[in-house]
Structure formats: C-alpha cells, structure tokens
A and B are shown apart, each in its own frame.
Chain A
Amino acid sequence: MTDRYPAVGLASRSLTVAGLAPIVAPSLAHSPALSPILAHHDPESLVAFGLVAGSDAQTGAERTAERLRTDVARVVAVLPECAPDDPREILCVATDRYHFTVALLAAWQRGHRVALPPNAQPELLRAVADDRTISLVIHDTDEMSGLDLRPLLAEESRATPAEPLALAPLPALRKLVTVWTSGSTGEHQRHAKTAGQLFAEALTLAEHFGLAVGSGGGRARVVATVPSHHIYGLLFSVLVPLVSGGAFSRETPLHAVVVRATLLETDANVLVSVPAHLRALRILDPGQLPALARVFSSGAPLPPETASMLRERFDLSVTEVLGSTETGGIAWRVSGPADSEAERVAGADNWAPVPHWTALPHVRVSAVEGRLLVDSPFLPPDGPRPWPTADRIEFIADPSPAGVRRLFRHLGRVDGVVKIGAKRVAIAEIERRLLEIDGVEDVAVAVIEVGGARGHEPVALVVAPGLSPEHLRTELRRWLDPVVIPRRLRLVDALPREPNGKLTRRAIVAEIEQPKPRVLSLECRSVRNVGRGAGAGPDSPNFAEYEVYVPRDLYSLRGHFRGAPIVPGVVQLELARAEALARWPDLGALRWVRRLKFVRPLAPGERLRLILDRCAADRVEFSFVCDGDRVSVGSLSFATTLAPQD
C-alpha cells in the first residue's frame, strides 16, 4: 500500500484534488473530473446537523449537500475573485461549523487562501483581521466586522434563487489555508497547506478509519469538541465528512452533559475531541454515552486513566492520532478493547490502555538520533523529504506474529514548544508577550509537569515593579489562549540568574516551588532612631526614620481591587503605630487617630520612608514619604502613662 504513493505524481503541476483518491484512497475514487468535496453525497444527503435553540426545530438546523452548494453559490456571488498575484488571505471566523464550511468553500472557489488563527481570543482575532495580509473577514458574530454570513444565508434571502454550485476541482499545488501556529521562536509562524496535502490526508483518514459511506457503518455523523479553525478540527470535523459522504454537527459542545446531549439528539456516531475534554466525560453515569464508531483524540497523549475510564464507563475505545500542522497525520493508536485485541494476543505484558504508535497509511517513519523523520503525501510539496519533526521517538519491536509494523513510542518534543491541554505554545511566546507589557522588566518561563487534564503547565517569574499577577494575566489573555497562561506566576525582585547571567530551568522551578509565606506587613528597617541632639528636628530623640518596602506578595494587596493592588491605609497606619510603640514604649495603647490623609495609592515594590515625630508626650505624627512627596500622613494619639514632658 505504502508503495502506491508516488511522490512525483502528487507534485505534478496538472494534478487536481480529483486525481488524489485513486492514489491514496481507492475505495473513495469517483469521477476523475470531480472535486472530492461532496463526491459521495446525493443532493439530499446531509452535510450538517445540529441543535437549534428551541430544540423542536432540530430539522431546522439540518443542511443537505444541495443546500450547501446553493449557500456557497450565494457567498461566491458577493466575493471578489482573488487576483492571481494577490498574496492576501481571507480570515474565516465562524462559531457555526456549517457557516465556516460555506465560507471556506466559497473562498476556495474564488481562488482565495484562508487564514486559520491559532486561537479565538478576541484581541488576537482583531489583530489578525487588521494584518495587511488579510483582505477580508468572513464571520458569523457580532464582534467582528467584514462579511457577515448570517443575513446572506438567512431564509429570507433564500427567496432569491441561486443555482447549486459545481465545486471546481482544486489544483493539488494550490495553497488553500494558512495555519498560524506557535513556533519555537515565539513569533506566530504561518504555515500554508496545499489542496493536495489537505485532501490526500482527509481521503486517507476517511478510508483508513472506515468513515466512508458504504464502508459498513453507514454515513459518518461527526460531533467535534474542537473548533474547525484548528487543523485537527478542520480535517476531522469538516474535510473528512465532506469527502466521505458524512455530516458534521454545527455546534462545538464542551461540557460533558452537552456532548452527551448532542451525540444522542443528533444520532452521531463519531466524536472528535482532545484528552482534556474526554477526561471531563467522567461525570456522566456509566452507559450514558451512545455506542460510537470512533472517538478521536489528538493534540496531546491520552492519559491512561482517561482511556480506562472511557472503556469502563462507556465501553468506548479512543483512536489517537499523532501529527502536526507541518507534517499532517503521522501515526495512530487505539486504546481500549476493540482494536487492541492484536496487542493483547501478542503478549499480556504488552497490552496497555494506551498502546504504541503505528504509522498511518502512506506515511514512512524513521528516526535519526531519536528524532522522528516523516515522509508522506501530507508533507509540503516544497519541503525536505523526509521531514525532520520536533518529536523524539523510540522504535520498539513489533510483538505481533507478522512483526512487520513499525511501532514506536513518543518521548516528547525536542524544542521549547510545549502542549498544554492540547494547545501548542512556545515558551518564547509567553515570555515575549510578558515582556511587551508596560512595566515588565525581566521574565523567565518554564514548563513543569502536572497531573490532570493539563499534563504540563507553564510557570513564570516576572520582574515588574508595581504590577500584580492579575494584571499580567489580564494582559496575556488578550493574546494567548487562556489554557496556556501561567497559573503560577510569581513576581520577584530579580530572576535567579547564575553569575554568567544564565537562567536554568532548575533555578526557575526551584524559585516557583518555594513555599510562599503569607506576608502580612510592610518591610521596615530603622535608619535613624537614636537622636543625639535636643529639641525638634531630625536629630531629636523625638524623631525616628525608617526605610519601608512594600513586598510584592503582601497579603493585603489582594483585598482591594483585583488587578490594581494598593496598600490599604490601615496597613500603613498599623506600621506607624507599631513602630512608634517600639520606639517609645511608654506611649501605651492607641487612643485615636486624627488628620489622616492618604495622598496617593501605594503600590507593591515601592520603597519609601516612614517618619515618626513625637510632637507631644501622647502624640506621634507619622508620614510616609516617597522621593520627597508625602504619600500619607496622620496624627496618632496614645494613652501614655507618663505626664507631659514640657
């Protein structure tokens, strides 16, 4: 099978996606002149289904292949043709997977390339939309401007007839999408994927996993918990159904109960998800999920306990797919009982909820010094072959009687890119975004292993006088997926650099893992409290001066305004009272406070002076001073035991 794939044939200039199926998925081969998109749908076959608000109108959410073709025609009618030398792209931002599909197919039909954003954070989407490489935004939300699909596809506008569009077979070498990923440098890297890459993979996946219509299980009805702007979501929840006679859910459910309801109410038979979402299904009672032909997981390794839970509670096995944006799908494995029979027969020791990886059809894997190399028709046509990945692997002997499979174990990545809850992020990007925040002077981010759904978690040390962790997180949230924002973010006065200026991961983690004491009071050090002269003035015995520092982790800073930490007045007052009493024990208990004035807020990291002036036997005036300016002042009156001295 592997040898059927002639790389030369796929790189041919004249090849269109219509010519792919005979090469990579013969069972899906159709007419050599026809696009593989909708090739296995009859006009009335469903392509999309869903739950529409008001639940009874479920059929209202359904869309047939014919309807999809007419909706694409409507958008094509208002979309300008892309000039052959126009390097710009169209950004599609749609929460409804059907809308996204309409936008995608219309853009492709008009010769455009589509940009897929790395996440759906509003700030990032707006930044992408404003990028000069974006010619137009097609969307279905109130938050974006551009071409809104909703009025265009509304029932009223359907009164104007539109001919169902015959989709053009796209040239295999045409670049269809640009995936903006997190590269190890921290900059977003744009990675274009050609029609040949995308459709060769979609066809291969559909055939290999038995999703094609007529392969025994009926038409695939896909529900995905991952959005379609991720390459994994695009392939598994949009392109695979489109090329194999299947249909997809318009919604992207997240919560376990909603995933269950969507699967049941839409009669779905395929679930496309990620480990963190699958793990959350444990709150459902045993047997509450329907039988599914396939549960796919990608993006991060499925934890063994999640695999076991899904098997025990719902009798589901999970098909995991290993791949990357650059290489496309590489390998797969199945957890649970259904397909691991072979592994179990091969030897009891070898059977595990999570078995080893085996290459997908048409994919050749090899390794140099533990680094995985891949050759497949899903690679960029102009890239190196074999393609060196950033993954470390280890081949293991095939225990099956035939012993011909190339099984391997995945050992992680070789660069500074990590996956957190299936989201890929570069440590360098988190560092860069932190450094861009006003007031941040130095940062260090490391990744530590944690249990649970995340697997890994970034931790950060930040030098940022006057800023709070909440403020930093809020700023990061404008750019980064919330999942990758450091949960443990500690403000420090300096990074734990070695004498040569280097920062080791070990030092960062050690600093983070140090127990964090609860700091209740301001730091205070006496600088002048033994006056020698007499009478008033700085040298008087009735005068004392202190250096005060506001610790960044002062507990009371959290109390007032999240994101804008200030030292509460009562904390300043308490310091003045305590120091006054320590200096002059005869003062006794505080009776009252007068003329209290807080001139400006006091922020973490500030250094200032506290000046105490015992202007009467029972009275101390205090002032906090910063760079000559008074920050706060007040007069404290004590129940002194001594008679007035003068």
Chain B
Amino acid sequence: MPGEAAASASQTKLERELKQLIVDALKLEDTAPEDIDSDEPLVGDGLGLDSIDILELAMAVHRRFGVKTGSDDSQNREVYGSVRSLAAFIHTHEAKPE
C-alpha cells in the first residue's frame, strides 16, 4: 500500500537523521552515521553507549523532535535499544499533536 511505503520511507529518513544526531550529539569520533546499523544495540556490545550517553541523546532527541522519553525506564531501555526502535517511538509520538 502506498501509505505503508511512505511511512517506511519516512522511517528510513528518520533513522538516517537519528544516526547523524547520535554522532553529533555524542561526538563519536570513530563512528560515521552510515556505520551505525539500525538494528544494532545502542548500549553495551553494539555501539557501546553508556547511561550518560543515553541521557545526552534523550536531551538531543527532545531538542530536535520535541519528543520526551516515556515514564517507564524498562520501556525506555527498549526505546533506546536501537536506532530502529527509537525512530519508531519518535514517529509515533511526533505524529500525535500534544
């Protein structure tokens, strides 16, 4: 369906934007945006971000998209699990007028 295709295209665009945001906001010098796999874990063994990075990223996401993290840390761990899950979260929350 065209609607789905458009949604998927905008998700891909959002993922690209997020990768750039991660590299910029966290000053990851060894990593280029295209190096980040949308599905790889952001924390721990994947990209290797730590809790302070995640808080910094949450601030950058809020600045750019006006989206705040959820009110449950276990859900936040899932949201900040990968670029893909973060993009999906932003996509859902951005679409809704506050």
Q: Could you list which residues of chain A lie within 8 angstroms of chain B, going by C-beta atoms?
A: 53, 251, 253-258, 260-261, 276-277, 279-280, 282-284, 421, 452-454, 469-470, 473-474, 477, 481-483, 485, 487-489, 516, 558-559, 562
Contacts and interface: CB of A to CB of B under 8 A. Distances in A.
A269 B44 CA distance: 33
B68 interface: yes
Contacts of B69: 255-258, 283
From A256, A284, A516, residue with most partner B Cβ within 10 Å = A256
Interface string B12-44: 000000000000001111111001010010011
6 contacts: A255-B54, A261-B71, A283-B58, A482-B43, A482-B50, A483-B50
B73 interface: yes
B76 A258 contact: yes
B59 A282 contact: yes
Contact of B55 (A277, A559, A562): A277
B49 A280 contact: no
A487 B27 contact: yes
For chain B, which range describes its interface: under 10, 10 to 19, 20 to 34, or 35 or more residues?
Answer: 20 to 34
- List the 7 closest A-B pairs by CB distance, nearest first: A482-B50, A280-B55, A261-B71, A283-B62, A421-B52, A255-B69, A258-B73
A156 to B, nearest CB: 24
Nearest to A422: B52
From B28, B46, B73, residue with most partner A Cβ within 10 Å = B73
B32 to A, nearest CB: 7
B48 interface: yes
Given A258-B76, A474-B48, A487-B27, A453 B70 contact: no
B55 A487 contact: no
A367 to B, nearest CB: 32
A487 B28 CA distance: 7
Contacts of B92: none
Contacts of A258: 69-73, 76
B45 interface: yes
Nearest to B30: A469
Contacts, number: 94
A469 B72 CA distance: 33
Given A257-B70, A261-B71, A482 B49 contact: yes
Given A257-B76, A483-B51, 20 more contacts: A254-B55, A254-B73, A255-B58, A255-B73, A258-B72, A277-B55, A280-B55, A280-B58, A283-B62, A284-B68, A421-B50, A473-B48, A474-B45, A474-B48, A482-B48, A487-B26, A489-B30, A558-B30, A558-B32, A558-B35
A280 B69 CA distance: 11
Contacts of B48: 470, 473-474, 477, 482, 485
Contact of B35 (A53, A282, A488, A559): A559
A487 B72 CA distance: 28
Nearest to B63: A283
B59 A276 contact: no
Contacts of B70: 255, 257-258
B56 interface: yes
Given A477-B45, A562-B40, A488 B55 contact: no
Contacts of A453: 52, 55-56
Contacts of A485: 48, 50
Contacts of B26: 487
A477 B44 contact: yes
A256 B58 contact: yes
B25 to A, nearest CB: 10
